[in-house]
Copies of this chain bind each other. A is one copy, B any other.
Amino acid sequence: MREQSAQGRWELWTQRPLLALAVVFAVAYAVPIVDTSADRAVTAVCTGVEWAVWGAFAVDYAVRLALTSDRRRFVRTHWLDLCAVVLPMVQQLKLLRLVSTLLLVGRRARMASQIRMTTYVVGAVVGLLMFGSLAVLSVERESPDGNIRTLGDALWWSFTTMTTVGYGDHAPTTGLGRLIAVGLMLSGIALLGVVTANIAAWFIARFDKDDVEERAQTEAILALTDEVRALRAEVAALRDRSLSP
């Protein structure tokens, strides 16, 4: 029980610093892509910051694993986090580091019970749009026949993709760019599903006809209670009478 509590306290304490680190990661990721004229030193610093943020989340995972009471269950329920911690060590791809860090940030953010569902979804969508745009921009700018060459084009393309509009005035042409696009499309479908489901839940709760039947039931139960109470008074009167003579 003490270990569980220690884990809980760690998660509460590290929550805000880790989310702040996520913002630092976003800036470090964006700078070398947006500012193409940035010299080598700036790029090196940004890559260092990216590795540091990923490292902080890896340490967080290790500490939580050390503090937990049931380590097997923790690894089993957090296998996706484990992959995100281990994979960048094995394969040091830029995209893999991005996905791993985003995954770790997302999993920690979802644990924060203070953050409401809507905030989480909106945050996830904005984050995916931003990182999707930047990632596609950095990949497609290299391609000779790519047509996504400015940050504006990349953002516009991300938006038309996530909303499944898909004009086709801009589209990724490289394999890596298309892989990022697939991720955005799947997120877009999930986003559409959450929006629709939210509205549907609100509609159904509002126009629900069941309440009529249920209110009738409640009234029937209350009427029955009155009936039983009257019966009890009757029996009490009977007892008084049987006592009196």
Expressed in whole angstroms, the minimum distance between the Cβ of A132 and any Cβ of chain B is: 13
Q: Are B163 and A188 in contact (CB under 8 A)?
A: yes
Copies in the complex: 4
Judge if A34 is at the interface, Cβ distance under 8 Å: no
Q: Contacts A161-B165, A194-B199, A232-B227 hold; do A239 and B239 have CB atoms under 8 A apart? A: no
- Contact indicator per residue, chain A 189-213, by CB within 8 Å of chain B (1) or not (0): 1111111111111111101111101
* Docked complex: A206-245 residues within 8 A CB-CB of B: 207-211, 213-218, 220-225, 227-232, 234-239, 241-243
Report Cα–Cα, A160/B162, bound state, in Å.
Answer: 11
The docked-state distance in angstroms from the alpha carbon of A159 to that of B172 is 13
Let me know if A243 and B241 touch, CB within 8 A. Answer: yes
Which B residues lie within 8 Å of A217 (CB)? 214, 217-218, 221
A217-B221, A225-B223, A228-B231 known; A203+B197 contact, CB < 8 A = yes
Q: Is the CB of B199 within 8 A of A193?
A: yes
Which of A18-26, A40-48, A56-64, A178-186 lies on the face that meets chain B? A178-186
Residue pair B204, A200 in contact (C-beta under 8 Å): yes
Residues of B within 8 A of A171 (CB): 167, 169
Tell me the A residues contacting B by CB distance below 8 Å: 152, 156, 159-161, 163-169, 171, 175, 178, 181-182, 185-186, 188-205, 207-211, 213-218, 220-225, 227-232, 234-239, 241-243
